[in-house]
A and B are shown apart, each in its own frame.
Chain A
Amino acid sequence: MINGILIPGGTGLIGTLLDIAWETLADRTAHVEAITWATPRDILDVDPEPFVRTHVEAALQRAEEVATSVGATARPGRPKARPVLIAKSLGSYAAALAADRELPAIWLTPLLTRPAVVEAITRNPAPQLLIGGTADRRWWDAAAAQATGKRVLTIENGTHSLRVPGPVRNFTEVLGTVGTAIEEFLDEVA
């Protein structure tokens, strides 16, 4: 069983990319903790890591309680549910917590121009998938992504919302590519 932890970006909401991730988790009858938060103004001018960590720690705690109670009644001694973090943008500050606990993770448009995020992804021995667009110049750094040694999915000309130029159909194609990569990742780690 998977414990999927969905971590939002600066909007604090489960937007399209996390919605796609939610669908893939639901297809696998995973338990899902979808975090929402009210982002403090100017959070990027201070260190956002403790804010993100607190939300994710609380969600992991909730997920663990559910998994334990389900496991205890259904099948004693069954393996514990394995958490997988799926985070968008600002939520990629959860990389430090993921590294501390060696949790697998999918980083959607992570903040790779923040060295602390790159360092945390790199030192985490668990499987991780980084997804970003080459038009996301503020946050995506192709060289830094490669240097983490983790799996990378690059969306050519994708923005910070992974939107690509052209009609909406081009965007939904990208959503298909992203969703399929998430499915494959989940099927490997779970």
Chain B
Amino acid sequence: MLSGILVPGGLGTVQTTLLDLAWEALNDRQALIEEVSWMMPEGLQEVGPEPFVRTYVAAALHRLTQRAPEARPVLIAKSLGTHAAALAAERELPAVWLTPLLHIPAVAAAIGRNPAPQLLIGGTADLSWVPAAARSTGKQVLTIQDADHRLRAPGKLRDFTDTLGTIGTAIEDFLDAR
């Protein structure tokens, strides 16, 4: 049975457009879903967020395996939540990384060493998106031209929702290949 863990970005909630689309895609597939929410401590960036993110995601994994002992969930994480790449690599979990923090070498390295399928989605106008690092992971990459850290590119709102359609379809295809 398909299962998924939604991991937020710095905002701390998964009730945001990109993760909402991921939730819809999981829900359409009758997946078991665990959602992470957090309050980001001030100064987290300075001390290193990986253990913080790891704790939340490990707890969500635990909750999920209580519900379904055989579950091998797909992680779907945004931005700060992509620090979960280290835990995902250890457990060899498939993952979708939305605007991953590829400017942080540990994140890019963790994605690269995880043998499970992964999909990276990022925009070329996002400072944390490093195209060379994305390519060198050897994983599937969806690049959104001129898009920022919200994956919005300049233009009308319709252009943005077209992008959201592309992202949603890529997530659906990724889930259907599991």
Contact = CB atoms under 8 A, between A and B. Distances in A.
A100 interface: no
B165 A168 contact: yes
Interface in B1-33: 13, 15-17, 20-21, 24-25, 28
B61 to A, nearest CB: 24
Interface stretch (A13-21, A49-57, A91-99, A125-133): A13-21
A24 B158 CA distance: 10
Interface stretch (B74-82, B106-114, B132-140, B166-174): B166-174
B164 interface: yes
Given A168-B165, A171-B168, A172-B165, A23 B160 contact: yes
B160 A168 contact: no
The dominant DSSP class at the B interface is helix
A171 B24 contact: yes
Contacts, number: 67
> Which size class do A's interface residues fall under?
20 to 34
Interface string B16-57: 110011001100100000000000000000000000000000
A169 B15 contact: no
A175 B161 contact: yes
A181 to B, nearest CB: 10
B177 interface: no
A182 interface: yes
Nearest to B19: A16
A167 interface: yes
Contact of A19 (B16, B156, B169, B171): B16
Given A16-B17, A171-B21, A179 B168 contact: no
Interface in A1-32: 11, 13-16, 19-20, 23-24, 27
B157 A183 contact: yes
B157 A167 contact: no
B13 A175 contact: no
A169 B160 contact: no
A183 B171 CA distance: 28
A149 interface: no
B156 A183 contact: yes
Interface of B: 13, 15-17, 20-21, 24-25, 28, 152, 156-158, 160-162, 164-165, 168-169, 171-172
23 contacts: A13-B13, A16-B15, A16-B16, A16-B17, A19-B16, A20-B157, A20-B161, A23-B160, A24-B157, A27-B157, A167-B28, A167-B172, A168-B25, A168-B168, A168-B169, A168-B171, A168-B172, A169-B165, A172-B161, A172-B168, A173-B165, A175-B161, A176-B158
Given A15-B16, A16-B17, 4 more contacts: A20-B157, A168-B165, A180-B157, A182-B157
Interface of A: 11, 13-16, 19-20, 23-24, 27, 163, 167-169, 171-173, 175-176, 179-180, 182-183
